[in-house]
């Protein structure tokens, strides 16, 4: 199971750890550590397992947002843009501002600040990669029901 941090900056609480799947929380820890491919793997393990339909859609969006950053790490800007756009589409299909205690409005705003430059030209390979503030995932205090 994911390791919980003991600080005011912790990504989640003991209540979250008791309520949510370990793979979800492990993915958050890995993502926040900049281990985007490993975060994808953790969330994918949950996605192929017991997740319900809305959780699957949410996890697909999270996976695609992590993979966008992984593609940037390996120099694949076009693939990064595709993953970013696909993640945003799936978040929109959820039609909720919050899921599994993640504020999706804030998270998507962080994604946009980091990745919107990819959509600013027809071919993102034409641009130099700007300095980016990577998103940070911190769950809201309330534990939420999910499928």
Residues 71, 27, 8, 73, Cα dihedral to 10°: -10
pLDDT in tens, 57-80: 999 999 999 999 999 999 999 999
Q: Rounded to an integer, what distance in angstroms lies between the CA atom of residue 97 and that of residue 95? A: 7
Domains of the chain: 20-126 (1.10.3450.10)
pTM of the model: 0.92
Degrees, nearest 5: CA angle 55-105-76: 75
Looking at residue 127, the DSSP 8-state letter turns out to be S
Q: Rounded to an integer, what distance in angstroms lies between the CA atom of residue 143 and that of residue 18? A: 10
Kindly state the tokens that stand for 52: 């319900």
pLDDT in tens, 20-50: 999 999 999 999 999 999 999 999 999 998 8
């Amino acid at each position: 199971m994911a390791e919980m941090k003991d600080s005011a900056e912790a990504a989640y609480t003991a209540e979250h750890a008791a309520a949510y799947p370990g793979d979800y929380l492990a993915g958050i820890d890995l993502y926040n550590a900049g281990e985007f491919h490993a975060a994808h793997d953790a969330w994918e393990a949950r996605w192929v397992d017991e997740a319900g339909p809305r959780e699957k859609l949410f996890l697909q969006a999270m996976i695609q947002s992590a993979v966008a950053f992984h593609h940037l790490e390996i120099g694949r800007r076009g693939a990064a843009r595709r993953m970013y756009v696909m993640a945003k589409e799936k978040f929109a299909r959820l039609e909720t501002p919050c899921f599994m205690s993640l504020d999706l409005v804030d998270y998507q705003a962080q994604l946009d600040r980091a990745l919107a430059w990819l959509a600013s030209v027809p071919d993102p390979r034409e641009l130099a990669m700007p300095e980016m503030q990577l998103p940070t995932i911190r769950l809201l205090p309330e534990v939420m029901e999910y499928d």
